[in-house]
Amino acid sequence: MNTINQDKKANNNLLFTAKEAYRTIRTNLMFSLAKKGCKTIMFTSSVQGEGKTTTASNVAFSIARSNKKVLLIDVDLRRPHVHRLVKLSNTPGLTNVLSGFNSLEEVIHKEVFKGLDVLCAGTISPNPSELVASEELAELLEKLKADYNFIILDTPPVNIVSDALTLMPYVDGVVMIARPNYTARKELQNAIGQINLVGGKILGVVANGAQIEKKYGYGRYGRYGRYGRYDRYGSYGTASSSAQEQAAPAPQEDVSEQTEKTEEEPKEEA
């Protein structure tokens, strides 16, 4: 399990520890998928607001920094947020291509950072499930695999909507995000069970926001249970922010730090 601590109050050396955590995830991902060609990795979680988008975006940046060609795709067509983190326009994007209004070339934001392209979600569609399950999306992903070393998919939570499960056949592995003192154990177990059921390969679980300054603080991870309330997620399916999201601490995104020099490429499997 990887841990990320972005709580500024808890750790003055924030950026260093957060960056290190993303690098660790990057290295683990590079070693955990023994395949040649493009590696397609989904980031998901059990419920809303656990840090999927933040982690997926930062890991995409981190992989690009190691001289890989990376495409970050926002496949959360209901509550897209990647564009906010990378400060891009969300439209036109994926949905506009799937609906036939735009070409891929028109909507991919090229070289947002050296080596990193971004495909935002696009115009909010009334039928996101159909778009995610469409042959067009499968074909589009297949086509994109020829152009990138890594494709990172940011997706909605597994226990709320089925989109991430629908995408499972097209990805090589899944990174689960959980948030200590936030993610209910039964929610995480349920999500993992569903992913296993559709044959998904879980590459690892990221403990996002873990209090790592407390020695061996993973013990706190046992205190699940605060978040079983589905009524809180009633806003899923709209573009508006939920109360829970607004209550979350301000992001300390590494993604805006685009000036860092390219890192040495970690050695990958043959």
Rounded to a whole number of angstroms, the minimum distance from the CB of residue 56 to ligand ATP is 8
Token couple for 17: 């520890």
Residues lying near ligand ATP in the complex (CB under 6 A) are found at: 4, 6-7, 45, 48-54, 76, 79, 81, 157, 208-209, 245, 248-249, 251
Q: Are 87 and 199 in contact (CB under 8 A)?
A: no
83 binds Mg ion (CB under 5 A): no
Rounded to a whole number of angstroms, the minimum distance from the CB of residue 84 to Mg ion is 10
- Closest residue by Cα to residue 76 from 57, 61, 59: 57
Select the residue whose beta carbon is closest to ligand ATP and give its number. Answer: 251
208 binds, among ligand ATP, Mg ion, none (CB under 5 to 8 A by kind): ligand ATP
The three-class DSSP label of residue 41 is strand
228 binds, among Mg ion, ligand ATP, none (CB under 5 to 8 A by kind): none
7 binds, among ligand ATP, Mg ion, none (CB under 5 to 8 A by kind): ligand ATP
Rounded to a whole number of angstroms, the minimum distance from the CB of residue 152 to Mg ion is 13
Count of residues of this chain found to bind Mg ion when the rule CB under 5 A is applied: 3
The three-class DSSP label of residue 35 is coil
81 binds Mg ion (CB under 5 A): yes
What phi, psi does 172 have (nearest 5°)? -85, -25
Q: In what order do the strands lie in the sheet with 2-4?
A: 2-4, 202-208, 173-178, 39-45, 150-154, 70-74, 116-119, 109-113
52 binds Mg ion (CB under 5 A): yes
Q: How far is CA 69 from the centre of its chain?
A: 17
Interface residues with Mg ion (CB under 5 A) are 52-53, 81
